Chain A
């Protein structure tokens, strides 16, 4: 079981949800899919912790639940001790529940308010027939003491405890079956900072004593940094970067990781680091952007090699293109005509009055005229046909860099000299995904 095989190996995991639809839509097959997790692979070794960070809605929790098959994954495999759990039957899965457990974010709703602590922890023992009779109570007391609670608390109801104590009960419940792997789904997000530290220390102690592996989901990099052996950064259902904390915090980094790290608050009043502010918001996972999913907000999109762009100019052109695609420019609110209107649009879109490359400038002017006529589709087509960048067409795969594995074309040798058309997108050594957003008809409507 040990050897080279990791405790948990996830391959190409996908979890799609069906979006809200009424009966008629279902009849006509007009259902849309929310791609919460879109081809994710990672490994966790025995006794190790993988931290999973990302914005809310990026699919972190879906991964946590799919790995335990609390939600059926749409595609992909989850190997636990070499066994693909996505193919297990219900009864086989039930046996495996002893090995894999989960701790939840909200301790108030993760404990049944109508059961005493005794019943809550005892349930795990009853289901798997672990301990009966007197030793059952003894085991519950032992578990409570292990997580730092008074054993005499066993006969109380959850509402008689504080948040930190409830979280400890939740941990005791997970520990009751002696698992080798626990999914921690934002276990400290709902707790105040001093209690967070206690719970994190408890989790670390338990790992040292019992050799439990964690999948630690959080949205706070500073929390994960302390507990994780590996950190994976997620963006919109995909892993953007994965590596040890040292690798992740050191360049080269995915532009998204860079932005996340710059957002960690620094207590030093004299600190003057540049905060990277990302434009816009996370795109909808129903209709994710083509190519690299981060290209709509990325400050370091690869500019086309045929034109000379300053990075900021190029970013502004990309925003223009993205907003033209979404038809998200309220032209009628500008009280101007002709040249004045395009000037106003330029200001709105942070485009400089003249781009450094005159050829590009002409294309942008034409696109702006189309936008002024509210012909957004024309503008979008013009921009995407003229300025080609791998970021919008090819999906990046995780590839090894000097520090960690990063899914970004910036680190792809094929694009080293900017976007050169004709070069096939380098298929990296990592598993390529079954469905690629680049070929999906996402730009169709």
Chain B
């Protein structure tokens, strides 16, 4: 022990750690047996990768096919004529096909028109040519479901798309710039949130009047709020990432930073929310119709069809409510499957979690 203590010293550097010796570091064995694989030739964009992944998701493809079929049926159910106010092609028929077996507005397709009474409603169970039966006014339900898709689907898609167009830019600006702009936008959102949904929609429709575009506008006025909120919250967390600072350091413009670096990393929850909303928007449009503020009761919109046949099941006419209901169900489910698929497709890390057993990465 005594000999050891004699060697004790306060001098540093008797033992040197040589971690910075260039030659040694370069000439030594590689740290792992990891070899590059996954060789691919040309650079591919994010969208191509996302499409590759989406194609592999069968459920999502099934959903997309269902929606596609419904859209096609709606488009080709009756011929489409351009309105008279349309420039140049006014009154021309742009879509001559007519897949629907009957005119959706034609009453009593089977027996010819009769005046309906309380006992004698003109309804028929599903038969032969008229597979889904006829409703209380004797109109062919199959034709109406096919034709009604034009209203239901378009209200869902257009209202959500417009709400996204309003909500995402506003939420992005609020989240990215912060400060007074953020304060202003989010207080407006809070204010609109303070109104019960229906009251706000009624107010909008009361001002604008009833109609297709008026209803879409009412749905957009309330519909953009959740997107603005979600995207703002996401951006607040995403913009703290150093790749955003790196993009700034490279001289990117704010617009390109938001669209290229921040939004793609903040969109996933919005995409999910938006796809779910397409379904619920269709239902809400029907609810508005129920209180007399939606489309007219004569229209073939699916929600309106359900509403005018509220008592159908109680009267034993199961078919009158079943088929429009099924159409809504199938559409909402398909849209949810697609939404999930889109979300997974945009998440490159999803590939790993599928094969890994989970846990820490």
- A-binding segment of B97-105, B225-233, B245-253: B245-253
Select which of A98, A113, A271 is within 8 A of B251 by beta carbon.
A98
16 A-B residue pairs with Cβ-Cβ distance under 8 Å, sorted by A, are A70-B248, A94-B251, A102-B246, A109-B241, A114-B264, A118-B43, A152-B39, A155-B42, A157-B348, A173-B246, A194-B19, A197-B19, A226-B20, A270-B4, A270-B7, A270-B14
Contact across chains for B9 and A127 when beta carbons are under 8 A apart: no
B315 within 8 A of A: no
Contact across chains for B242 and A109 when beta carbons are under 8 A apart: yes
A22 to B38, CA, bound (A): 51
Query: Which residues 217-234 of A have a CB within 8 angstroms of B?
Result: 226
List, in ascending order, chain B residues with CB within 8 A of A337's CB.
none
A101 to B246, CA, bound (A): 8
Select which of B46, B251, B352 is within 8 A of A128 by beta carbon.
B251
Interface residue range, chain A: 35 or more
A234 to B98, CA, bound (A): 80
Contact across chains for A65 and B245 when beta carbons are under 8 A apart: yes
Contact across chains for A197 and B20 when beta carbons are under 8 A apart: yes
Select which of B43, B246, B251 is within 8 A of A104 by beta carbon.
B246
A368 to B46, CA, bound (A): 70
List, in ascending order, chain A residues with CB within 8 A of B45's CB.
119
Query: Which residues 146-191 of A have a CB within 8 angstroms of B?
Result: 150, 152-157, 159-160, 162, 170, 173, 177
A153 to B39, CA, bound (A): 8
A336 within 8 A of B: no
Per-residue interface assignment for chain B, residues 5 to 18, with 1 indicating a CB less than 8 Å from any chain A CB and 0 otherwise = 00111111011010
Contact across chains for A152 and B243 when beta carbons are under 8 A apart: no
List, in ascending order, chain A residues with CB within 8 A of B10's CB.
271-274
Residue among B11, B45, B245 facing the most chain A CB atoms (10 A cut-off): B245
B40 within 8 A of A: yes
A216 to B248, CA, bound (A): 20
B82 within 8 A of A: no
Select which of A112, A201, A204 is within 8 A of B243 by beta carbon.
A112
Contact across chains for B246 and A155 when beta carbons are under 8 A apart: no
A173 to B4, CA, bound (A): 53
Contact across chains for A160 and B38 when beta carbons are under 8 A apart: yes
List, in ascending order, chain A residues with CB within 8 A of B31's CB.
194
A67 to B260, CA, bound (A): 25
A97 to B253, CA, bound (A): 12
Contact across chains for A270 and B250 when beta carbons are under 8 A apart: no
A244 within 8 A of B: no
B273 within 8 A of A: no
> Given A70-B249, A272-B10, are A152 and B242 also a contact pair (CB < 8 Å)?
no
Select which of A124, A154, A193, A266 is within 8 A of B19 by beta carbon.
A193
- Total interface residues on B, CB under 8 Å, equals 47
List, in ascending order, chain B residues with CB within 8 A of A137's CB.
43
A437 within 8 A of B: no
Contact across chains for B9 and A271 when beta carbons are under 8 A apart: yes
B87 within 8 A of A: no
A94 to B257, CA, bound (A): 14
Select which of A116, A127, A154, A266 is within 8 A of B250 by beta carbon.
A127
Q: Name the CB-closest residue of B to A105.
A: B242
A198 within 8 A of B: yes
Contact across chains for A114 and B19 when beta carbons are under 8 A apart: no
List, in ascending order, chain A residues with CB within 8 A of B42's CB.
155
Select which of B12, B34, B349 is within 8 A of A266 by beta carbon.
B12
Contact across chains for A270 and B245 when beta carbons are under 8 A apart: no
Contact across chains for B36 and A150 when beta carbons are under 8 A apart: yes
> Given A118-B43, A152-B39, are A97 and B251 also a contact pair (CB < 8 Å)?
yes
Measured CB to CB, the closest approach of chain B to A123, in angstroms, equals 6
Contact across chains for A159 and B14 when beta carbons are under 8 A apart: no
Query: Which residues 237-282 of A have a CB within 8 angstroms of B?
Result: 264, 266-268, 270-274
Q: Name the CB-closest residue of A to B7.
A: A270
B25 within 8 A of A: yes
Contact across chains for A70 and B252 when beta carbons are under 8 A apart: no
A65 to B25, CA, bound (A): 32
Query: Which residues 25-76 of B have a CB within 8 angstroms of A?
Result: 25-26, 31, 34, 36, 38-40, 42-46
Select which of B11, B34, B250, B349 is within 8 A of A123 by beta carbon.
B250
B154 within 8 A of A: no
Q: Name the CB-closest residue of B to A110.
A: B242
Given contacts A110-B245, A118-B43, A194-B25, 8 further A-B contacts (CB under 8 A): A114-B46, A114-B346, A114-B348, A123-B247, A152-B36, A194-B19, A201-B25, A270-B4
List, in ascending order, chain A residues with CB within 8 A of B291's CB.
none
A68 within 8 A of B: yes
A118 to B43, CA, bound (A): 7
B261 within 8 A of A: yes
List, in ascending order, chain B residues with CB within 8 A of A93's CB.
251
A170 to B249, CA, bound (A): 12
Per-residue interface assignment for chain B, residues 276 to 312, with 1 indicating a CB less than 8 Å from any chain A CB and 0 otherwise = 0000000000000000000000000000000000000
Contact across chains for B265 and A156 when beta carbons are under 8 A apart: no
Q: Name the CB-closest residue of B to A68.
A: B249
> Given A197-B20, A267-B15, A268-B15, are A110 and B249 also a contact pair (CB < 8 Å)?
no
A111 within 8 A of B: yes
A106 within 8 A of B: yes
Measured CB to CB, the closest approach of chain B to A134, in angstroms, equals 11
A316 within 8 A of B: no
